Every structure is written in structure tokens, then in C-alpha cells.
Amino acid sequence: MSEARRIQLLSPRLANQIAAGEVVERPASVAKELLENSLDAGAKRIDVEVEQGGIKLLRIRDDGSGIPADDLPLALARHATSKIRELEDLEAVASLGFRGEALASISSVARLTMTSRTADAEQAWQVETEGRDMAARVQPAAHPVGTSVEVRDLFFNTPARRKFLRAEKTEFDHLQDVIKKLALARFDVAFHLRHNGKTVFALHEANDDIGRARRVASVCGSAFLEQALPIEVERNGLHLWGWVGLPTFSRSQADLQYFYVNGRMVRDKLVAHAVRQAYRDVLFNGRHPTFVLFLEIDPAVVDVNVHPTKHEVRFRDSRMVHDFLYGTLHRALGDVRPEDQLAAPAAVGQIVRPSGLAAGEFGPQGEMGLSAARVLEQPQAQPDSVWRSAGAGYQAPRPQGAMPQAEAQGAYREYFAPLPESAPAALPQTQGDIPPLGYALAQLKGVYILAENAQGMVLVDMHAAHERITYERLKTAMASEGLRGQPLLVPESIALSQREADCAEEHAQWFQRLGFELQRLGEESLAIRQIPALLKQAEATQLVRDVLADLLEYGTSDRIQAHLNELLATMACHGAVRANRRLTLPEMNGLLRDMENTERSGQCNHGRPTWTQLGMDDLDKLFLRGR
């Protein structure tokens, strides 16, 4: 056997290079640390100059408070910082950087020069160091108030690390992305970027709503801003504001998602889960939502000292934060109506305005939908062969393979009941603006409705739109009437860990409200005695396991609701009007009015769009008018 190796202290140089492995991955990592220092110093303008993607040169200059001459050598030492002094400071960190390791780590793997001047100093001072000897050299220099940091030849003394760097363009793209993320966090700071002598962008200070919107458009693209909802909600000490993209403006990858906690860009599992829940019913499978969101919270209830790169945070009350994010985004997306997605109305004088039933208006209770419209082309249809759909009330033959009425579980039968023999009296047409989706003109191939509104032409997928209306009304009925439980003839036993069994016991009342009845049999076992009647075909054991996993991870779970919603979506799909079903103008207009009054009517249950607008400009382009 070889002789045991003795324990010894690492040299300062080696310790710094090991620390550099945690925070300095590529030029973008260096830029992040230096830019955060500039922002913490109160800078209002930051200039970034890059050569060869930041590998050869990265120079960052700011107009912040500067560093006193005596502190310059200390700034390059490990665990040296001006941002925290006591343990209490660490419990409520208000600055972006606070570990005191960044400059020491960077200087251990690159040639670093830092020049700085404070407002009360007669001249600037400069400190230089190289990774080889780590000895700092201080000398006078010329520089305005603020600080410049120049990093040359990254990883020149660690060839193994340099081999892992990518092509110049790739490294520059990562670096540019870091600057954009920080530019979104600080609208009050101007950012200027040059690469290989060429200006890439110049983002000026944005101190008003127009300026902030302009910066968001510069970073995320104007298309995002055109397809985004501005939100701002404050509750229970939490303040959320920013922009969330409409479900129709989704991406194939999660590359347009910016979330900030007290100005710090984070990637957090809890946040991602809350956002995913909020978009669950409106996002097409495999697509990712887009958002730029800012959460402001008491620094004392969030721990930013979780990861060396500070990309992760931990909330003291994660359940409250999760529910706040989910509830706010869920309501914001649910409140979107067609008028919110349309531009200001154009001239409307030439649009023919139907009245009464033809316009989709109904009885004295203000019921919207087509329950009053009769199917003219099928006078022979008997009441027992006709379904009334949830909400819009189309009179449609029961489709092949549709779910029998008995399976609608009692509380929902009324949504599939026969139409009344007589129609309610029509309301008189009131003078007012043209409805957002306008008035129906015709039906195309039994699939699409063509309508005219103030902006031009509207195309509606009638099945997808009716499916969403039906689905939302079924969900409302279920929420108001509750869930019926169905006792199991033979209870199912399930083996769990003690932690999972304790969690199930703790949330027993919550499970009971959702139709489950769980009984603790032992330290690591449960019995499922009752399940929701609507989920009698579901795999109860696996569902309970998945729900408990969510409760332990996030403090909440939506899996039971998700399974119920899947069933309601299937019922809505079967109950919705089918393709090739000929509709009358009153029926078509009734559907348009229902869409205007239904949550999330812009997408069907599967996330596909239900309608689209072709404005006059779009139509003119198709026919080259005005060219």
C-alpha cells in the first residue's frame, strides 16, 4: 500500500483557481460578475468592449462610486467585499454580488487590470495582476469617476479549461445574453456593447413606461411586446409586474423566459412549476411560454446564498409564493378577451349590424349563446337525439362515439340536455360599438366561420371555439357543485416511504375535498378507500404517488385537477359542434358572442388557436393594393 498523503493547506493561487471553476465558466461568466459589481456601485452607464468573444479582451467601464486607492489591492483578495459585514447582512442581501470571490477568481485565470477613481479623489489609481504570481501592482492613472476592469487572455494559464471554450460567435452570444438579462433588470441604467470594434447595441436609460417597453422590445423582439400582456399585482407583501406572452406567442424552447427576484435573474423550479400550471390549459403540447416578470419581495424571506453563481434562490414560504405566481398569471390569461388582442377600431360605418337573435342576443336574463337558435335544416330531429352543448347551446345531432349522457355524472347532464321547444324573446338591438369578433358573414366548408369586424375579417374554427366554451362551463359547474366521491368495493393498499405517508396524513382534509379518502395503515403504508367518481377509470395508486411527490417538492399539486380537466376536456370535445355541421347566421353570431364572454376563448383545450384576424392592411398586401 502507498503511504498515506499528509493534509496540507492549499496555496492561495490554487485555491483561487478552484474557486474560479465555480464562478468562471466562460467569458460570459466574467461579464456577469463584473457587471453586477458595476450595478452595485450605483452605475448609470456601463460600456462593454469585447474582442474575440471575450476570450482575448473584455473591458467593462462604469460611472459608479469607484474604489478608494487603498482598497484596490484588497478588492482582488478572496472573501473581501464591501457589501456585507455582519451575519445579519447575509440574511437580507440587497446587492447582486456579496461573496467577495469574483475578482480573486477571475484574476487567477486571466490578466486583470482595474482602474478606479472616487468622487473625492484627486486622481485615479490602477491595480494589475496576472494569474501566475497573483502579486498586485498599484500605480497612478488617468480615469474619470467610476471603474474600468480589463480582463485579457482568459484561461491563459489553464490550457485544459481553455480547450472547453466554444467558437468566438458562440461565446459572444452567451456574453450578449448576460448583458441583455441585466439590461432588463435595470431599466434605469444605460448599456452599450461593442464587439471587435463594432457597436452591437446601445440601450439608453428607460425611466418611463414607453422607454421600458422600448427596451423590452429591443431585447426580446417587437413581436413579443405586441403579443404580451402587461401585468402588475401586489398582495401579501409580494409585488409582481412585467409582461406575459399570449399562449399563441409560444416558443419551441424556453429561450424567452426572464424572471427576476429583487432585480436578480433566477432559474427556479418552483417558479417554473407555477408558470407551467398557469399556462396548462392554453398552451399547445411541447411549446413553452414567454415572459419577462419581476417579483419584489422582502429580502429577509428569500435566500440568495444557495448557489455560487446565484442563479437559484430559496423562499421561506415557497407555498405562498407559488400560489401567488400561479393565481396572478392564471387570472391574467383567463381575463384575455378578443378585444384585448385587437387594435383600435377602424371605420365601422359600412358593417351590416344584425339585431336580436341574428346578432347572438337572447332573453331577458342576458343569456349568451345559441340555445334560442333552431336548426332549420333538420326539422325532423327529435328532442332525444339532440344535444345542447355546454354554454353555446347548439342544436346538433349526437356525434358518433360520443360519451353517453349517463357518464356526464349527473351534475353535468343539463349541459347535454335537449333544447327547449320555444326560444326566449329577443332583446332589441342596442346602438353601440361593433363587437370585437364582429358579425358572421358565412360558413366555409362546414369548418370555419367568416365574420367582419372593425379591423377587417375574422376566421373562426367553430369546433375548437365551441370546445373551449363547453370546457370552461363544465369546469365552472364542477367548481360550484363539488366532486362526488365513489367508495371502492375493495380498498387499494399502497406502500410508501414514511415521509410520503406523513405528508398524506397531513393533507388528509385536502385529499377529502377532492374526493379521495386515504387511511393510514402503518408507518409506510396507506389504504385508498374512496376516489373521485369522475376518475373511476384512473390509476388511483399512481395518481396518489404523483400527487404526494408534488406536495413534497412544491408544497402543492394540481395533478388531480389536471386529470379531472382531461376528462372534462374529453366531454367538451364530444359535446362540441362537429365539422361539416351547417350553421345558420344566428348560430354563428351566437358562437361569436359566447367567445367574447368566455375565459381563454383564444385557444381550444389543446392550446390551438380558435380564431385569427386578417386586417385590411393584411388583405391589401395579399392583393398588392396600393403598390
**Residue 271, C-alpha cell as written in the block:** 417558479
Contact 366, 597 (CB under 8 A): no
CB 394 within 8 A of CB 587: yes
Residue of 105, 100, 97 whose CA lies nearest to 264: 97
What span, in angstroms and rounded, lies between the C-alpha atoms of 494 and 500? 11
Task: Annotate 254-304 with three-state secondary structure.
Answer: CCCEEEEECCEECCCHHHHHHHHHHCCCCCCCCCECCEEEEEECCHHHEEC
Query: At residue 212, what is the residue type?
Result: R
Rounded (5°) CA angle 529-530-536: 125
What mean pLDDT comes out for the span 425-453?
A: 77
SS (H, E, C) 148-164: EEEEECCCCCCHHHHCC
Instruction: Note the pLDDT tens digit of each residue in 27-84.
Output: 999 999 999 999 989 999 999 999 999 999 999 999 999 999 988 888 887 777 766 6
Taking the C-alpha atoms of residue 573 and residue 577, their distance in angstroms, rounded to an integer, is: 8
| Grid cell at residue 356 | 336580436
Cβ neighbour number for residue 343 with a 10 Å cutoff? 11
pLDDT at 387: 28
Is pLDDT above 80 for 406? no
- pLDDT recorded at residue 86: 66
Is residue 600 within 8 A of residue 468, CB to CB? The reply is yes
Q: Which of 326, 241, 316 is nearest to 278 (CA)?
A: 326
Q: Contact 367/593 with Cβ under 8 angstroms?
A: no
What percent of the chain lies above the pLDDT cut of 70?
78
Domain boundaries, the chain: 12-203, 209-336
What is the C-alpha to C-alpha distance for residues 313 and 296, in angstroms, rounded to an integer? Answer: 13
Q: Pick the closest to residue 24 from 183, 181, 214, 155 (CA basis).
A: 155
Burial (CB count within 10 angstroms: exposed 0-12, middle 13-18, buried 19+), residue 309:
middle
Residues 485-531 have pLDDT tens digits of 889 888 899 999 999 999 999 888 878 877 789 999 988 999 999 88
Confidence at 374, pLDDT banded by 50, 70, 90:
very low
Strand-pairing partners, residue 194, are 49, 199
| Contact predicate 318/297, CB 8 Å | no
Residues facing residue 396 across a β-bridge: 387
**Which residues fall within 8 angstroms of residue 299, CB to CB, at 6 or more apart?**
92, 93, 94, 262
Instruction: Dump pLDDT digits (tens) for 133-186.
Output: 556 778 999 999 999 999 999 998 888 888 889 999 999 999 999 999 999 999
Total Cβ atoms within 10 A of residue 200: 14
Q: Quick one: average pLDDT of 320-342?
A: 87
With contact defined as beta carbons under 8 Å apart, do 584 and 376 qualify?
yes
Pairing type for strands 291-296 and 257-261 reads parallel
Collapsing DSSP to helix, strand or coil, 612 comes out as strand
Rounded Cα gap, residues 400 and 219, in angstroms: 50
Cβ-contact 72, 129 below 8 angstroms: no
Q: Cell 413606461, residue?
A: 209
pLDDT at 377: 32
Q: Which CATH number does the domain 209-336 belong to among 3.30.230.10, 3.90.25.10, 3.40.630.10, 3.40.190.10?
A: 3.30.230.10
pLDDT score of 606 more than 70: yes
Q: Half-sphere exposure (CA, 13 Å, Cβ side) for 120?
A: 1
Burial class of residue 15, CB neighbours in 10 A (0-12, 13-18, 19+): middle
Angle formed by the axes of helices 585-596 and 462-481, to 10°? 50
pTM of this structure: 0.73
Query: Phi/psi zone of residue 520: left (φ > 0), alpha (ψ -120 to 50 degrees), beta?
Result: beta
Q: 45-51 and 190-195: which strand pairing?
A: parallel
Contacts of residue 85, defined as CB under 8 A and 6 or more positions apart, other chains included, come to none
Tens of pLDDT along 87-106? Answer: 665 666 667 766 667 788 88
Grid cell of 490 as nine digits? 375493495
Are the CB atoms for 333 and 244 separated by under 8 Å? yes
CATH class of 12-203: alpha beta
Q: Tell me the sheet residues that pair with 613.
A: 458
Average pLDDT over the chain reads 79
The reported pLDDT for the residue numbered 98 is 62
C-alpha cell at position 120: 473625492
Structure letter (DSSP) for residue 70: G
Instruction: Find out whether 246 and 336 touch, Cβ atoms under 8 Å.
Output: yes
Cβ count near 247 (within 10 Å): 23
**Nearest alpha-carbon partner for 69 in 18, 120, 25:** 120
Q: What is the pLDDT of residue 355?
A: 61
Distances in Å between the Cα of 613 and the Cα atoms of 168, 205, 337, 452, 616 are 43, 35, 14, 10, 10
Q: What is the CA radius of gyration of the chain?
A: 31
Quote the pLDDT of residue 105: 83
Contact predicate 341/352, CB 8 Å: no
Sign for the pseudo-dihedral over CA of 569, 574, 577, 582: positive
According to the model, what pLDDT value does residue 119 have? 93
Q: Residue 450 corresponds to which cell in the numbers above?
A: 367568416
CA distance 343 to 341: 7
Residue 133, classed as helix, strand or coil, is coil
Nearest Cα residue to 158 out of 54, 16, 281, 361: 16
